[in-house]
A = this chain, B = another copy of it.
């Protein structure tokens, strides 16, 4: 009747998303990326650490842009096919 809690798969997917963004960041500091993307530092840390399984689209887009990571490549790496989602 409401919103079903996120499944373990969705959380796992969130962790992978964070890992990819962190890897793409490379040697740049979190603060630098946060500033460049316009995303708050705390939001960035939570996303990178996977504690935010399903971040907002524009937040991810801004971060991916800041670390020069194509969105399509990111989506493909996360294998959206089976995990369409709905969160």
Contacts and interface: CB of A to CB of B under 8 A. Distances in A.
A55 interface: yes
Interface residues of A, number: 30
Nearest to A47: B57
Interface string A1-32: 00000000010010001000000000000000
This protein's copies in its complex: 2
A70 B24 CA distance: 20
Contacts of A85: 38-39, 56, 58-59, 62
14 contacts: A13-B58, A17-B57, A38-B84, A38-B85, A39-B84, A56-B57, A56-B87, A57-B59, A58-B85, A59-B86, A62-B80, A62-B86, A65-B80, A71-B75
